[in-house]
Amino acid sequence: NAGVTQTPKFRVLKTGQSMTLLCAQDMNHEYMYWYRQDPGMGLRLIHYSVGEGTTAKGEVPDGYNVSRLKKQNFLLGLESAAPSQTSVYFCASTGTGNTGELFFGEGSRLTVL
CA distance 53 to 76: 14
Q: Is residue 31 near another protein by the rule CB under 8 A?
A: yes
Closest by CA position to 26, among listed 88, 70, 90, 77: 70
- Tell me the C-alpha distance between 113 and 107, whole Å: 19
Q: By 3-state DSSP, what share of the chain in percent is helix, strand and coil, each rounded to 5?
A: 5, 50, 50
Q: Which is nearer to another protein, 49 or 85 (CB)?
A: 49
Q: Which amino acid is at 56?
A: A
Q: Which of 23, 66, 78, 92 binds another protein (CB under 8 A)?
A: 92
Residues 50-69 that bind another protein (CB under 8 A): 50, 58
* Sole binder of another protein in the list 13, 48, 74, 87 (CB under 8 A): 48
Amino acid at 5: T
How far, in Å, CA of 111 to CA of 94, rounded?
28
Q: Does 97 bind another protein (CB under 8 A)?
A: no
Q: Which stretch binds another protein (CB under 8 A): 11-19, 69-77, 79-87, 102-110?
A: 102-110
- Give the shortest CB-91-to-another protein separation in angstroms: 9
Contacting positions for another protein (CB under 8 A): 31, 33, 40-45, 48, 50, 58, 90, 92-94, 98-107
